[in-house]
Structure 1
Amino acid sequence: MKMKFLAAVIAASLGVTGCSQPEQTSEQTDTASAQNATSQTEQAPELGTFGVDLSARDESVKPGDDFFMYASGNWYENYELPADKTRYGAFTALADRSEKQVKTIIDDIMVKDDLNAEEQLVHDFYQAYMDTDAINEKGISPISDVLNTIDSIENRQDLTEVFGNAWLTGAVTPIWAGLWYNRLDPNEYQLSVGVGGLGLPDRDYYLSDDERFVKIREAYVTHIENMLTLAKEENAADKAQRILELETAIANVQWPREKRRDRDLTLNQIERSELSDTYPGFDWDTFFAQSGLKVPALNISQPEPVRDVIDIINDKPLEDWQAYLTFHTLTNNASLLSEDVYQENFDFFGRTLSGQQEPRPRWKRAISEMSGTESLGFAIGKIYVDQYFPESSKEQMSELVENLRKALGKRIDNLEWMSEETKKNAHEKLQAFRPKIGYPDEWQTFDGLEITSDKLVQNVRNLRKFFQEQDVERELKPTDRERWGMTPQRVNAYYNSSFNEIVFPAAILQPPFFDPNADPAVNYGAIGAVIGHEMGHGFDDQGSKSDAMGIQRNWWTDEDRAAFEAKADKLAEQYSQYEPIEGNFVNGRNSLGENIGDVGGLAMAYEAYQLSLEGEEAPVIDGLTGDQRFFLAWAQVWKEKRTEQSMLNQLRAGTHAPGRYRALAPRNHDAWYEAFNVQPEDELYLAPEERVRIW
């Protein structure tokens, strides 16, 4: 049971026949413009002369044919993906930088003598993780207590207890529950209950007849057998096949991802006292007793699948569930166990499933384990902010957010398809947006947490217990609006619909997203569009179902909602035409919220950029107009290279379109056509009436 706080669900986040050349000017004009841009700042931007890496471009590609390759094609054709990565791009580059900065912080802690309490926690956890000799010597013994409990299951009540303890043991269970916000009253917590339990990324991996998925399933069964053999399980091959059959049964009753993101369908509130009558056949009291959570209000995210999975739990033999739990306990703790277990797990999930050729260095794996919101991430993040995040960046970012708020407000006023009644509600929601920038105002404390330098698995369990106890302590109190769903060193951003907040951790406020020394067009095209993207989630096909106070309700007129959904449907169709792998398309419906965020966020950022010019013409720099620099900055934010396996995972299990298609969002904006002289014969050309304009 996933009984920890559902931070991962916080909401929508953020992790190209004649070429139309940029406008040419005289060398004197280019030089003067560049000097003028630089003179307005204290130092040169990190990338190029104005904030964009022009060497990444492939100017032999027409912008109107493939804007991704025009903006980043030279980089794409020449960049070699490292053996320990499945994808690489602007996000990955910044994540690497953040990781190295955190490594410097930890290295300093490891040699210091006068450590404070939080530094000591970081020191001891890292030392335990890096002590490979001790870890290898222990083998799988650190989880032997859990495996013994699984072996001793004699009835459905025993099975339910093990399911209920999965938050602590790291097992996967077919029914999960986690503390979340009441969507009808965000001041209250409630338990969200749903269906999970799969080892492969998505139900398609079990149900598709595509040869790729058939081979993955064959490799998965072999992997399960190998893991069970490491646990000295008898009849490992037979058990592996039965585990696949069990997971296939679960996959068959799960909703498709595009249905799971529909907030109308996933809002099914029920009192805890009514649960057993409405969803019989499962010992809910025993299940919830393992977590200690007593909140009376629940929401069932997938009603029919929950009922179907209860039937599967009762129909499948206990022996199958024991094998299933043994395997998932092993695989979910593999990074904490001996090298033979980790390597077998990596061979399948890394190499086979994702195309990663080598494991990440152990120090990187340690940092990843330590950096979550329910690990030591905020203890590290506090130091990260002190050392690497200037307060001036927070101030400049605050100004950008307000500029985007003003721009979106203006765009709402000018919407021809929206009535005044709905516009009034939209403005109320926009004005109520709460930005969080850089780091929390109130830091997570770690009083009472015990970490030792020689017991890695126990350390992880202690962290799980620590945060679980905090959830139990806060569950009946008003929701904590100061809590962050990401640490400052995380390269990402998110929108939380329950609190109507947009959140930008410190680590994303660096080039190519944000550079205080870059040309304004670049900052508006990059971080400005990211700000707009997160604002856009408040007005996407699902975020728009919540009001200014974060309450899920319909604040639209029926006519306006129908007009909005018609535009959203059109955008879903547009993205569904992209085919990254033969026979495998972008799921325009599942990625719709992100695509609305991209297209709408770009429009907001462009509006804000134009407002910032105050009617003046932007200078031409390196032969590029302001509009060209704006759209290039956007496209280069989404440059990426990835393995085919990783691409397949993204298409089937991800909520975002792959980066090379996110870079094409400008094809819905008139200004892009003018900036790059895109003509009807160009591949990306959309007739004006086919361009999707929502926000």
Structure 2
Amino acid sequence: MRKTVFVLLLSTAAIVAGPVACSKGGDKQEASYTVGTELGISKAAMDTSVKPGDDFYAYANGNWQKTTEIPADRSSTGAFYTAFLETEKRTRELVDAIVKRGGDADSDAGRIAAFYKAYVSTDAIDAAGMKPVEADLARFAAIGDKAALAKVLGEQTRADVDPLNATDFNTENLFGIFVTQGLATPGDVIPYILQGGLGLPEREYYLSADPKMAALRTQYQAYIAKLLTAAGQPDAAAKAKRIYDLEVKIARAHATREASEDFTRSADVWTRADFAKKAPGIDWDAYFAAAGLDKAAKFGAYHAKAITGLSALVASEPLDAWKDWLAFHQINSHADVLPSAIDTAHFAFYGTALFGTPQQRSRDKRALDALNTYLGDAVGRVYAEKYFPASAKAEVGDMVKGIKAAFAKRVGAIDWMAPETKKEAIKKVETIVVGVGYPETWRDYGSYTISADNAYANEIAGEKAEYVHQLAKIGKPMDKAEWWMTPQTVNAVNLPVQNALNFPAAILQPPFFNAAADPAYNYGAIGAVIGHEISHSFDNNGAAFDSTGALRNWWTAADLRKFEEAGAALAAQFDTYKPFPDLAVNGKLTLGENIADVAGLQAAYDAYHASLNGKDAPVIDGFTGDQRFFIAYAQTWATKMRDEALRQRVATDGHAPGMYRALTVRNLDAWYKAFDVKEGDALYLAPDKRVRVWG
């Protein structure tokens, strides 16, 4: 499970971590969104010399953009990180207290303390050298034939991907497993199998003709050799070439990112017997037995064509190449708990070369990240008990109800939608299961044994514990209340097959939610987040699921055509945004997030006005209620990224950079009225060009 450098997103993607806004120099004032300094919008962050209709992002965030510096250990910074900083501070205090106090080895407190101590003990990790990983490397070296290879590939399989909730397709193992209700098997919880096996972020890094991608490929090959050398592996250069050449072939077998994000193309269901027929090359009996999947009757072949291609490579490629590949990825995916030379080399490539981040995060902060990965619910339970009061849960719950009602009302008013389509859409909104703050039941870590002095063993055991936890769901009724995020996660998520939403406690704080702020601010900030997640149930992917979470077409042909026309218009709008002269935002790739932004912001706006109960909003600091609503929204998307990270986001990610998501406002009529935006302004769209999507 690789823990490299991530960027903060708000989406179906559960991506947590990212850079913080900071400044250098005694006389340089930073416009910030620091918790507690302002109850509503940050006037200091704004550049009111900019005309809102020409560049609304700069109007709302211009001073912040000019004065904020990205810290050395970050690839980007933004408003999201304010909440993350406060969450990290709180988590630090909680974990420090637990570590100091300790606890029984079989208690969550004892597990947290032991895991943390082992992780931060870099002297012990360095002293142990490669000894912790020797048994795994010996397993790979002992592979004598393709049947033994299939067995090891099965042993390495983990539940480390999530195509539906997190749009996370990355695993360094040949295949990744995800367990939930099948796309084409309503009521049946099955294991999905996804493509994997790459060390670079995704296939385009291997196949693109872009010179910058080519340069990264050269650096990656050098990195493989460097890592193997640091790990004491002989013939590192020759092995690096074999590994890289194999990964190029793996990349060619992969589905594209756009295809991966199209759920309707990924609903294939295979029986056990189908694998030998449709994907010959792997000894599937040996694979499934080793992976603990030999009792599963059917599988979601999420990347069906890739499964066939990867299996063929197992048969065709030399055994030594696979053995080298296994050894490299075992080291690479656990570099953080191996000797410093390996950890440093890993960051130099994944942190600096890929994302432009010059400095590694401190070990104690990385330890908190690791705890959130392997013991997330244990830490989250303590966090929620201390930092998320019942009053906040109730207030946000009321906002959710209001925004759901606003969305349903908008659907009811659509004049082009057939009654049967409208009925199912409203039913879907009304039956969404909403989790606020934290789950009602907590994860049991009783089977997870943690060492106080072997950080590598702790990660391996944590991965296996998670895998067993996920496999245990197969064949059982789907739990619609299951959480996929921890309370200390600064994000939110839509769960399409559960028809459910999670709003973790950590995002329900400034700058997204402040109980002392006025409704315009809260609806523009957290209200838009809530609306966004509700709207994911009706984006280009979510709209393919009905109210039960089943993947089926519940649209009339005419309704679907109208919906697709709106989506195409929004994709074209985002295609015009160019952060670099040679690279534009991919409107089709980012369409799901963009639809959710448009529809969610409109629903939040409607709910805000409904909350006023017919009264006029007060003017505060010279801004009307509607102005504060839209400024609050734009300020949640304050974003500053290093060029390398921005290029990576635009080229491969399903989320447009924040500065462009802030421009969603140009599709709402109310924004034009609030800021007197007129024809001739740079962001002006004629009324018939404003994308409505849902109402």
* TM-score, structure 2 as length reference: 0.91
**Bigger mean CA deviation after superposition, 114-123 or 444-453:** 114-123
2-structure distance, mates of 1:570, 1:464? 43
Q: Is the 8 A contact 1:379 1:444 kept in 2?
A: yes
SS for the counterpart of 2:466 is: helix
- Counterpart in the other structure of 1:27: none
Q: Is the 8 A contact 1:50 1:621 kept in 2?
A: no
- Counterpart in the other structure of 1:118: 108
Shift of 1:126: 0.5
- Counterpart in the other structure of 2:166: none
1-structure distance, mates of 2:199, 2:468? 28
1:187-226 equivalences under 5 Å are: 187-226=187-226
**Bigger mean CA deviation after superposition, 301-310 or 564-573:** 301-310
Identity %: 39
2-structure distance, mates of 1:311, 1:275? 12
The 1:194–1:448 alpha-carbon spacing in structure 2 relative to 1, beyond 3 Å, is closer
1:449-460 equivalences under 5 Å are: 449-460=448-459
Shift of 1:665: 0.4
Which AA in structure 1 matches 2:493?
Y
The 1:302–1:11 alpha-carbon spacing in structure 2 relative to 1, beyond 3 Å, is farther
SS for the counterpart of 1:513 is: coil
Deviations 1:157-214 (A, max 9, x none): 1221221122469982333333232224453211211212111112221112222111
2-structure distance, mates of 1:255, 1:476? 28
1:11-410 equivalences under 5 Å are: 12-13=12-13, 15=15, 50-112=39-101, 117-167=107-157, 172-293=172-293, 294-372=295-373, 375-410=374-409
The 1:14–1:607 alpha-carbon spacing in structure 2 relative to 1, beyond 3 Å, is farther
**Bigger mean CA deviation after superposition, 177-186 or 533-542:** 177-186
Shift of 1:50: 4.5
- Counterpart in the other structure of 2:475: 476
SS for the counterpart of 1:394 is: helix
1:451-600 equivalences under 5 Å are: 451-600=450-599
Q: Is the 8 A contact 2:159 2:466 kept in 1?
A: no
Q: Structure 1 unaligned runs (5+)?
A: 3-9, 16-44
Shift of 1:504: 0.2
**Bigger mean CA deviation after superposition, 634-643 or 478-487:** 478-487
SS for the counterpart of 2:538 is: coil
- Counterpart in the other structure of 2:21: none
Q: Is the 8 A contact 1:105 1:384 kept in 2?
A: yes
Q: Is the 8 A contact 2:337 2:456 kept in 1?
A: yes
Deviations 1:433-461 (A, max 9, x none): 11100011111122233112111111222
Shift of 1:276: 1.4
Which AA in structure 1 matches 2:340?
E
Question: Does 2:630 correspond to 1:641?
Answer: no
The 1:86–1:520 alpha-carbon spacing in structure 2 relative to 1, beyond 3 Å, is same
Q: Is the 8 A contact 1:202 1:652 kept in 2?
A: no
Shift of 1:677: 1.5
Shift of 1:605: 0.4
Shift of 1:49: 5.5
Q: Is the 8 A contact 1:51 1:519 kept in 2?
A: yes
2-structure distance, mates of 1:114, 1:646? 41
Task: Give the count of matched residue pairs.
Answer: 658
2-structure distance, mates of 1:267, 1:638? 34
- Counterpart in the other structure of 2:614: 615
2-structure distance, mates of 1:284, 1:177? 15
**Bigger mean CA deviation after superposition, 310-319 or 102-111:** 310-319
Q: Is the 8 A contact 1:273 1:296 kept in 2?
A: no
Q: Structure 2 unaligned runs (5+)?
A: 3-9, 16-33, 161-170
Q: Is the 8 A contact 2:180 2:473 kept in 1?
A: no
1-structure distance, mates of 2:597, 2:527? 11
The 1:232–1:157 alpha-carbon spacing in structure 2 relative to 1, beyond 3 Å, is same
Q: Is the 8 A contact 2:184 2:267 kept in 1?
A: no
Q: Is the 8 A contact 2:35 2:83 kept in 1?
A: no
2-structure distance, mates of 1:160, 1:617? 68
- Counterpart in the other structure of 2:438: 439
1-structure distance, mates of 2:93, 2:611? 38
Shift of 1:114: 5.9
2-structure distance, mates of 1:241, 1:558? 51
Q: Is the 8 A contact 2:179 2:192 kept in 1?
A: yes
**Bigger mean CA deviation after superposition, 499-508 or 185-194:** 185-194
1-structure distance, mates of 2:484, 2:38? 35
Which AA in structure 2 matches 1:603?
Q
Which AA in structure 1 matches 2:151?
E
**Bigger mean CA deviation after superposition, 251-260 or 220-229:** 251-260
Which AA in structure 2 matches 1:217?
R
SS for the counterpart of 1:383 is: helix
**Bigger mean CA deviation after superposition, 656-665 or 646-655:** 646-655
2-structure distance, mates of 1:403, 1:385? 24
Shift of 1:242: 2.8
2-structure distance, mates of 1:178, 1:521? 39
**Bigger mean CA deviation after superposition, 630-639 or 456-465:** 456-465
SS for the counterpart of 1:290 is: helix
Which AA in structure 2 matches 1:141?
K
2-structure distance, mates of 1:566, 1:169? 37
Deviations 1:137-165 (A, max 9, x none): 11222111111111222211122122112
Shift of 1:135: 0.4
- Counterpart in the other structure of 1:650: 649
Q: Is the 8 A contact 1:11 1:497 kept in 2?
A: no
The 1:14–1:150 alpha-carbon spacing in structure 2 relative to 1, beyond 3 Å, is closer
2-structure distance, mates of 1:186, 1:342? 44
2-structure distance, mates of 1:691, 1:102? 43
Which AA in structure 2 matches 1:383?
V
Taking only aligned residues, the RMSD between alpha carbons, in angstroms, comes to 2.1
Which AA in structure 2 matches 1:81?
I
Which AA in structure 2 matches 1:110?
V
The 1:582–1:245 alpha-carbon spacing in structure 2 relative to 1, beyond 3 Å, is farther
The 1:660–1:113 alpha-carbon spacing in structure 2 relative to 1, beyond 3 Å, is closer
Q: Is the 8 A contact 1:223 1:348 kept in 2?
A: yes
1-structure distance, mates of 2:474, 2:502? 23
**Bigger mean CA deviation after superposition, 175-184 or 75-84:** 175-184
Q: Is the 8 A contact 2:157 2:174 kept in 1?
A: no
Q: Is the 8 A contact 1:168 1:461 kept in 2?
A: no
Deviations 1:265-320 (A, max 9, x none): 10111222332122222211111112213221111112222222222222221121
SS for the counterpart of 1:481 is: coil
Which AA in structure 1 matches 2:404?
R
Structure with larger RCO (C-alpha < 8 A, sep 6+): 1
Q: Is the 8 A contact 1:60 1:70 kept in 2?
A: yes
The 1:335–1:270 alpha-carbon spacing in structure 2 relative to 1, beyond 3 Å, is same
2-structure distance, mates of 1:168, 1:671? 48
1-structure distance, mates of 2:678, 2:471? 60
Which AA in structure 2 matches 1:291?
A
Q: Is the 8 A contact 2:191 2:474 kept in 1?
A: no
- Counterpart in the other structure of 1:19: none
Deviations 1:383-427 (A, max 9, x none): 101111111110001100000011011101111221222111111
SS for the counterpart of 1:247 is: helix
* TM-score, structure 1 as length reference: 0.91
